[in-house]
Amino acid sequence: MSDITSDITSDIRMNADSPTVAVLRLAQPPLGRFMPGVFFGVISALSSVGLLATSAWLITRAAEHPPILFLGAAIVGVRAFALLRGSARYVERLSSHDAAFRQLSALRVGIYRRLVPLAPDGLRGSARGAGRGDLLARLVNDVDELQNMPLRVVQPLLVTVVTAVLSVVGVSIVLPSAGVALAVALLLAFGAATLVQSAIAGRAERSIAPLRGALADQLLDYVSNIDVLVAFDALAGRIARVEAADHRLRVATLARAGGAGATSAILAALATLASAAALLVGVSALGHGLEGPALTVIALIPLAVFEVVASAPLALGAFRQVYASARRVADATPTNISREIPTEPAAPRSGPAPQPSPAPQTGPRAESVPVLQLTDVGACWPGESGTAFSGLNLSLRRGDRVVVEGVSGSGKTTLAHVLVRFLDYTGSYRIGGVESRQLSGDSVRDIVGLCEQSPYLFDEDIRQNLLFAHDSATDEQLVAVLARVGLADWMRERGGLSARVGDGGALVSGGQAQRLALARALLANFPVIVFDEPTANVDPELATQLMRDILTVAGDDTGDDQRTVIVISHTPIPADLVSHRVRLETPDWTFPEGPAIHTHTGDDR
């Protein structure tokens, strides 16, 4: 019991509002949906006890050859308890699982909704130290484990307590001393079984979820990088890691099974002792108000009661597993990193509410209000100390074409993720005159679009890889935008819009992937497009032409449709393609505040 108290109960008492406890509460169905399962579970358990008691009394009384009328009620009782036990068990399973699965569905949706505002960068600050496979295990296996909170923890404990109390009361009515003996035996059985199971399987039950995540991490790493491992003849080492992780999980699972087996053995032994104790006190009461059939009842009832009580120590073991999974799920949700990344920015306290999508203004004031304005902006990655950059000042209007330069590590990608609100920031970042913190992430990303260094392409055809940017676009519009980015001939050579691009874009080159990303941005009609190292995966001889095409196509609209383009690159860009330059310098390690910022907002041409 000390294991449970130190690792679970004290944690809950010390922090009743912790994220872990919040997850456990979310896993528990509401009472209106949960209590029918408990009710029918109690009916089923009491029917089992009643069936054994009535059967014992009927057989013993029939051996005395009384008139058949004296046995009629017992015969009906046996049939009733037998039918009630099975039917109540069926309804209990149906109602309890329905409640658990409905709550699990709501829990899954709720967790993913809380993760969406964090994706992708906020997940770096949650579940720190976890790999992709471990994070996947948290969001799938550990969330699934939470369904056991109502099914294998709360309901079995409630059913056990109610059944045990009513059974002790019923035996006490027949013979008080036998009721006392049964109560003592039940308490001893629960305490001994809990201690033994905690000693044998407690640590294993708490470690199964992390070990399962570690195995998933090793497997995903192995499968994702198998081509590189084969090329460098490193398969054996990675397979050994997978086998070691599997061995640790298998040992923990066997320890859990050993604890369950030891618990069952203890309960069976104490059930036998409880029956023996009932016989001892019952035999001495024979002839003093206790008859033979009643003696049989009080001697056999402990066997049925202990069968129900056996689920209580197992419920505590299940709680250790559920609690470990809930803690891992809580670590992967934004509640514990809300200070670093707000899930949804709060509305301003005073003044007019901002427009949900402050598109670049038109009319007389269009040129006076910057599309983007950054004042003393700084940022860092979640969970990391120091800043990637700080003190950035930049003002951009419609039609500006900006290049952000700097060596690797100077904060260029961090800036790109700040602009689309994947990362939080310090200072002021205004979009169309409205502070971006006052807008939801979706509203910001309706205006500022990001084309990443390695655009993700779905294992679908070209059409589907474009439609998710504008789901109502026609084939004619898709062909037109492909022609605009220089992919019309390539598309026709591949067999049209139905040609597949392969898993992760395996069937397209780096330049083609960037052009597809540009086509997506044009379809989405972002007023501002940020390109993060668009030529990083392109041959040097093709990089200049690709950069020229990107900047020309992305900024070729005129009038009110004129688009602002920001290109982040560590390679030189011809001066005639840009109107502004921003350079981020790698910080000197004696200055922890971050990279120095050199900003040029004039026309460098």
CATH number where 432 lies: 3.40.50.300
For 502, the 3-state DSSP assignment is coil
Mean pLDDT of all residues belonging to the chain: 81
Q: Is the pLDDT of residue 78 over 80?
A: yes
* Kind and range of the H or E run holding 379: strand 372-379
* Average pLDDT, integer, range 346-361: 38
Strand-strand pairing, 528-532 and 564-568: parallel
Considering 293, 319, 337, which residue would you say is the last residue of a domain?
337
Which pLDDT score is estimated for 184?
92
Residue 314 gets which letter from DSSP?
H
427 and 324 in one domain? no
Please state, in angstroms and rounded to a whole number, the distance separating the CA atoms of residues 535 and 415.
Answer: 18
pLDDT category of residue 441 using cuts at 50, 70 and 90: confident
For 392, list phi and psi in degrees, rounded to 5.
-85, 130
Radius of gyration of the chain measured on its C-alpha atoms = 34
Strand-strand pairing, 389-396 and 434-435: unpaired
Q: Is residue 108 part of a domain?
A: yes
pTM of the model: 0.71
* Average pLDDT, integer, range 389-396: 87
164 and 117 in one domain? yes
Lowest mean per-residue pLDDT among 184-193, 210-219, 336-345, 380-389: 336-345
* Longest CA pairwise span in the chain (Å): 116
379 and 326 in one domain? no
pLDDT category of residue 97 using cuts at 50, 70 and 90: very high
Of residues 543 and 270, more confidently modeled: 270
Lowest mean per-residue pLDDT among 26-35, 249-258, 344-353, 543-552: 344-353
Selection from 451, 487, 395, 459 nearest residue 568 by Cα: 451
Note if the bond before 120 is cis, omega within 30 degrees: yes
- For residue 488, CA distances in Å to 315, 475, 484, 493 come to 63, 12, 8, 9
Please state, in angstroms and rounded to a whole number, the distance separating the CA atoms of residues 48 and 420.
Answer: 62
Which pLDDT score is estimated for 366?
44
369: left (phi over 0), alpha (psi -120 to 50) or beta: beta
Please state, in angstroms and rounded to a whole number, the distance separating the CA atoms of residues 202 and 208.
Answer: 10
pLDDT category of residue 596 using cuts at 50, 70 and 90: very low
* Average pLDDT, integer, range 206-210: 90
Please state, in angstroms and rounded to a whole number, the distance separating the CA atoms of residues 221 and 236.
Answer: 14
Selection from 396, 458, 409 nearest residue 582 by Cα: 396
Which pLDDT score is estimated for 123?
63
% pLDDT > 90, the chain? 32
Please state, in angstroms and rounded to a whole number, the distance separating the CA atoms of residues 325 and 412.
Answer: 37
Q: Is residue 347 part of a domain?
A: no
575 and 447 in one domain? yes
299 and 379 in one domain? no
Ranked by mean pLDDT, which of 26-40, 54-68, 288-302 comes out on top?
26-40
Which pLDDT score is estimated for 485?
87
Please state, in angstroms and rounded to a whole number, the distance separating the CA atoms of residues 400 and 387.
Answer: 27
Which residues contact residue 23 at a Cβ distance below 8 angstroms, ignoring those fewer than 6 apart? 146, 326, 327, 329, 330, 333
Q: What is the CATH number of the domain that holds 233?
A: 1.20.1560.10
Which pLDDT score is estimated for 12?
37
Cβ of 541: how many Cβ atoms within 10 Å? 7
Which residues contact residue 116 at a Cβ distance below 8 angstroms, ignoring those fewer than 6 apart? none
Q: Is the pLDDT of residue 450 over 80?
A: yes
Please state, in angstroms and rounded to a whole number, the distance separating the CA atoms of residues 563 and 557.
Answer: 7
452 and 308 in one domain? no
170 and 45 in one domain? yes
Structural domain boundaries enclosing 536? 372-600
381 and 312 in one domain? no
Cβ of 350: how many Cβ atoms within 10 Å? 4
pLDDT category of residue 82 using cuts at 50, 70 and 90: very high
Q: How many helices (H) and strands (E) does the chain have?
A: 21, 10
Considering 291, 318, 337, which residue would you say is the last residue of a domain?
337
596 and 460 in one domain? yes
pLDDT category of residue 560 using cuts at 50, 70 and 90: low
383 and 268 in one domain? no
* Kind and range of the H or E run holding 390: strand 389-396
Q: Is residue 412 part of a domain?
A: yes
pLDDT category of residue 543 using cuts at 50, 70 and 90: confident
Q: Is residue 344 part of a domain?
A: no
230-233 contacts: CB < 8 A, separation 24 or more?
A: none
Q: Is the pLDDT of residue 11 over 60?
A: no
Q: Is the pLDDT of residue 362 over 80?
A: no
Lowest mean per-residue pLDDT among 408-412, 553-557, 574-578: 553-557
Selection from 304, 259, 272 nearest residue 188 by Cα: 272
Please state, in angstroms and rounded to a whole number, the distance separating the CA atoms of residues 603 and 605.
Answer: 6
* Average pLDDT, integer, range 50-61: 91
Total structural domains within the chain: 2
The angle at the Cα of 140, spanning 135 to 141, to the nearest 5 degrees, equals 100
Please state, in angstroms and rounded to a whole number, the distance separating the CA atoms of residues 145 and 165.
Answer: 30
Which pLDDT score is estimated for 570?
76
Q: Is residue 268 part of a domain?
A: yes
pLDDT category of residue 350 using cuts at 50, 70 and 90: very low
pLDDT category of residue 279 using cuts at 50, 70 and 90: confident
Q: Is residue 364 part of a domain?
A: no
Of residues 195 and 407, more confidently modeled: 195
pLDDT category of residue 119 using cuts at 50, 70 and 90: low
For 198, the 3-state DSSP assignment is helix
Take residue 506 and report the two structure tokens written for it: 């395996």
Do 519 and 484 contact (CB within 8 A), yes or no?
A: yes
pLDDT category of residue 255 using cuts at 50, 70 and 90: very high
Burial class (CB in 10 A: 0-12, 13-18, 19+), 432: buried
pLDDT category of residue 144 using cuts at 50, 70 and 90: very high
* Kind and range of the H or E run holding 317: helix 311-332
Strands, sheet with 580-584, edge to edge from the N-terminal-most edge strand: 448-451, 528-532, 564-568, 401-405, 580-584, 597-600
577 and 432 in one domain? yes
* Average pLDDT, integer, range 505-525: 87
pLDDT category of residue 2 using cuts at 50, 70 and 90: very low
Q: Is residue 2 part of a domain?
A: no
Considering 287, 319, 337, which residue would you say is the last residue of a domain?
337
Selection from 362, 369, 392, 365 nearest residue 379 by Cα: 392
* Average pLDDT, integer, range 581-588: 71
Q: Is the pLDDT of residue 156 over 90?
A: yes
Selection from 27, 22, 183 nearest residue 101 by Cα: 27
Q: Is residue 99 part of a domain?
A: yes
pLDDT category of residue 557 using cuts at 50, 70 and 90: low
pLDDT category of residue 500 using cuts at 50, 70 and 90: very high
377 and 333 in one domain? no
Which residues contact residue 299 at a Cβ distance below 8 angstroms, ignoring those fewer than 6 apart? 56, 275, 278, 279, 282
Q: Is the pLDDT of residue 523 over 80?
A: yes
Take residue 165 and report the two structure tokens written for it: 């109390």
For 576, the 3-state DSSP assignment is helix
pLDDT in tens, 467-491: 988 889 999 999 998 988 888 999 9
Do 556 and 521 contact (CB within 8 A), yes or no?
A: no
